[in-house]
Amino acid sequence: MLAFVPAALFFVLFCVSVREDRRRFRNAVLLGLTLMFGSIGLLFQIPELPSPLDAIAVLLVLAVPALGTLVLGGYLIRNGLTMLRKEGRSPTNMLSMAAGLGIFALIALVLGVAGRGSRVVDTMVAGLVMLVGYVSFIFLCFLAYAFLYGRITVRGDVDYVVMLGSGLICGERVSPLLASRLEKGRQIHAAQVARGGRTPLLLVSGGQGSDEKLSEARAMADWLIARGVPEEQVRLEDRSATTKENLAFSRTIMAEADPDYRCVVVTNNFHAFRAAMTARTAGVNGQVLGSPTATYFWPSATLREFVAVFWEHRTVNLSICAGIVAVTALAAVASA
């Protein structure tokens, strides 16, 4: 059982960190380390397991991830084609296809180049695999914890339900993506009213872009009022242009009205964890809940969120990547 000690240690650290604040990215990394060392511990136990448990353990730790990688690559390419057809040709819409093609390109490189007798080439390929492996590990950490974070529910009374804005159709109409956030916020508001506690205010947040005829907040407020929400229960934050400003300006409005406020922030599910990290930085007293997103849109949107989170922590991430590149270069020179 000693093989599981590192996994148990990281799990304890994960629980402590989550208890302190659910909105930290380190929670995702600690969860990933727990799962990784748990898998390693299981590998060490395989010789001690009776049949057929030993075969099942091998499948779980080795075969399932290998097969899953191939399935994932194919799915991402197919999703990329769907994105191009439905959303148009933009760099962000091509993220899932690029990721899928990258998976198969790396597999082809390893199978086609490695082991051909050149130690330098083998070393460089190994370094590339390590580099991709690190980025993939961080992505899986992000994905796993974002999934867990998305299971958060509203507990107790809240004073505000904050809904983050997004672009308007033709500069004036609420998009389906934004409507999903507003409907989720309306449902939370109705549930709070039904439970007999205090009635929260709906705070819609979003300024007016250069191509928009009115502020996103105004369009959001009109959408809610048209669906039965009393106008006096809606507040507008109409100056923000980014998620960071959405949360910072909304916090100012809430804190000025009640320094002890408690809120829930609503955005789309693919954006919830990153928005939660931003909310923590902005000092917002509340968790972030996600609303449903079209299935075909989710993979590319999630990859885009991961790229943003990876870059937000670029000091650590780029330092580790640079370290891998430096070690690979030194090893290649030594093997030449």
Give the span between the Cα atoms of 231 and 217, in whole angstroms. 13
pLDDT of residue 43: 79
| pLDDT, average across residues 306-323 | 94
- Does residue 171 register a pLDDT over 80? yes
Crossing angle between the packed helical segments 272-282 and 119-149, to the nearest 10 degrees: 80
pLDDT of residue 248: 96
% residues pLDDT > 70 (the chain): 97
- What sign does the dihedral 56-58-64-70 (CA atoms) show? negative
Task: Identify whether the C-beta of residue 152 lies closer than 8 Å to the C-beta of residue 289.
Answer: yes
Q: Tell me which residue of 269, 267, 302, 292 sits closest to 76, measured CA to CA.
A: 302
- Which pLDDT band holds residue 288 (cuts at 50, 70, 90)? very high
Residues 178-229: tens digit of each pLDDT: 999 999 999 999 999 888 777 899 999 999 988 889 999 999 999 999 999 9
50 C-beta neighbours (distance < 10 Å), count: 6
Give the span between the Cα atoms of 259 and 58, in whole angstroms. 54
pLDDT of residue 90: 80
Report the b/e string of 303-324 with b at 16+ CB within 10 A.
bbbbeebbeeeeeebeeebeeb
- DSSP-derived letter for residue 286 is E
Give the span between the Cα atoms of 130 and 124, in whole angstroms. 10
pLDDT of residue 114: 67
% residues pLDDT > 90 (the chain): 60
Residues 105-159: tens digit of each pLDDT: 988 888 887 666 678 888 888 899 999 999 999 999 999 999 999 988 888 889 9
Q: Tell me which residue of 240, 83, 266 sits closest to 180, measured CA to CA.
A: 266
Q: Which structure tokens are listed for 136?
A: 């993939």
pLDDT of residue 158: 93
